[in-house]
Amino acid sequence: MTTTTTLKNFYLPCALGIAAFALTGWSVYGLQAREAAAPQPEPALVHEGDLLRLPQKSPLRRSLVVQAVADQTVQAPFILPAVVEADPARLVKVLPPLAGRIVRLNKQLGDAVQAGEVLFVIDAPDFAQANADATKAQSALTLARRNLERQRELDKSDIAARRDLEQAQSDYEQAASEAARANARLSQAGGAGAGGTAVAGGKLAVRSPIPGRVVALAAAEGGYWNDATAPLMTVADLSRVFVSANAQEKDLNQLYVGQQAAIRLDAYPEPLKGQVGYVSEMLDADTRTVKVRMPFDNRDGRLKPGMFAEATLLARAHPGIVVPMSAIIQNGFASRAFVEVKPWQFQPRELKLGAQIGEQVEVLSGLKAGERIVVKDGVLLND
């Protein structure tokens, strides 16, 4: 009895273990069989050489956007450094015509000036001498004229000798020549007709030749000025200014008078619209650049000479192809796009790009009008 019980206790666990093992093996076998019978999912992208194919159920078909390219008129922008400058024809550097002491400054820095207004008064000994010589020469001319007239009357009455008339004629001509010389000297010294006039005491009043504003002042009352090459004061009419840009030699074929330009300045958020009014005929020998000037009305005084600017000009219009920037995929140093060769079949193609125009870029080579390219989410094909 004891032996039988012992055998039952030994074989019963073994039988249960074998049954559990068999059941587990059957379950695993059934699972593998079901997995083998289930179909494999279709890939989203199939590579066929250099061709990329999207299967019918590919989720990429819902995200990619394909668009045809077409020829159109292209005006590529290019940017030039620029600066605001005063109009040279409306800026005068006033130099004292003679050395002397400045006795009065009628205008200070920033003052408005009308044409003909006195800017400053200078006490110049040479001017006083020139004025005196002109007055003396004029008096001698008047006397010589009266003597000539008297000799002519006497000659008509046969009272005076012929040689007296001839002598009076010679004296008059000499006096006229001396008066002309003295007046020319006075004019050169800053007299009437040369931007200046005499005032009380033989002093010289220098007047402004143009209307505008005093933009530079280099002297004070009481100072002695003896440099004939240094301007004492600068008067400028800034109601019209230039924005001058320097274009490189390679951009010369893109420049022309009337060319549209957008000017950006640090002081103002909105760009100014203008156009090229002048393209220099000569290149700067040092910088190898050409000067381009764009005139601007500045009656509100917003543009200050010396302000730095950035000029964006539009090149000459030409036919070309532009594509969205989103269509361009960078692959190392190369730029490429995916071209649809058949429905939902794409081929990567390397492109040569030109200038960027807003959110688009010009394609110089690699694409033809009518071809369809991926313009959105093309990066998903770039694996």
Q: At 309, which CATH number?
A: 2.40.30.170
My answer on whether 310 and 322 are in the same domain is: no
Nearest-angstrom CA–CA distance, 107 and 236: 13
Q: Express each pLDDT in 176-213 by its tens digit.
A: 888 888 777 777 666 554 445 555 456 888 889 999 99
109 located within any domain: no
43 located within any domain: no
Q: Express each pLDDT in 309-343 by its tens digit.
A: 999 998 888 899 999 999 999 988 899 999 999 99
Nearest-angstrom CA–CA distance, 361 and 185: 68
294 located within any domain: yes
61 located within any domain: yes
Q: At 353, which CATH number?
A: 2.40.420.20
**Residue 1 pLDDT:** 45
Decide if pLDDT at 214 tops 60: yes
| pTM as predicted | 0.64
256 located within any domain: yes
201 located within any domain: no
**Residue 19 pLDDT:** 53
Mean pLDDT of 361-365: 92
- For residue 302, the enclosing domain spans 79-89+237-314
11 located within any domain: no
Q: How many domains does the chain have?
A: 3
Of 274, 290, 314, at which residue does a domain stop? Answer: 314
Nearest-angstrom CA–CA distance, 252 and 159: 83
> How many CA within 13 A on the CB side of residue 319?
5
Mean pLDDT of 137-157: 84
The one-character DSSP state at 166 is H
130 located within any domain: yes
Decide if pLDDT at 231 tops 70: yes
From 191, 221, 211, select the one nearest 203 (Cα to Cα).
Answer: 191
- CA–CA distances in Å: residue 62 to residues 44, 344, 380: 11, 11, 12
Of 173, 188, 203, at which residue does a domain stop? Answer: 188
My answer on whether 264 and 297 are in the same domain is: yes
For residue 252, is it left (φ>0), alpha (ψ between -120 and 50) or beta?
Answer: alpha
What is the number of other CB atoms lying within 10 angstroms of the CB of residue 259? 19
